[in-house]
Amino acid sequence: MANQTNDRETDVKLARHPASEPYEQFARWYAEAQAKEPNDPNAMALATVGPDGMPSVRMVLLKDYDQRGFVFYTNYESRKGTQILGSMKAAICLHWKSLHRQVRVEGAVERVTDAEADAYFHSRHKSSQIGAWASKQSRPLESRFELEKRVAQFTAKYAIGEVPRPAYWSGFRILPRRIEFWEDRPFRLHDRMVYSAAPSAKGEGGWTSEKLYP
């Protein structure tokens, strides 16, 4: 119990001394989540909006991040794919329950390059590659047998050699305009720090930060 208390005190101390820019702060928290969060530290809720203005949210996996943004992969013909392609905007939320923390990101979206998509696709297990071909993601499915039949068909088709990446399967990169870090504190007096993108007159990107009331 003493070690848990000391760890928690260290967490609070870090929350009181945030990094000067959001990617450094995210790297700190993400590294700790990877070490301590028991299940899927890269799981995140992805929010999109349809053409009728109705929001939609689902869980996806963060596959990469750097100074450019946060990357995940999907079927571009899925519901989330078509909604993103229609607006080129999205939001994500990573919630690490065991650490009492969450990170929220909002921004524009761009497609990853073909080279990036190819590299990630070919890093996946072959069965997952086959699944990308077999699944008509988000479209009506008559029965489980229909899906299993398609899996068998593509397994036979690509039994030998490399499985090519489907043209409709690729990735998106969220280009943050706003990143908020939230950490639980007693009596709901939580710590909240928000970083907002602030392009300069020269067109160079930068960040402003401020604390928020809980």
* Dist. CA 80–CA 212, nearest whole Å: 30
Nearest in space to 74 (alpha carbons), one of 6, 141, 193, 170? 170
Which residue in the list 58, 185, 188, 192 is annotated as catalytic?
A: 188
- The SS3 assignment for 149 reads helix
- Per DSSP, the three-state class of 120 is helix
Is 188 among the catalytic positions?
A: yes
Closest CA to 180 of 25, 36, 48: 25
First to last CA, the chain: 28
Q: Where in the sequence numbering do the catalytic residues fall?
A: 188
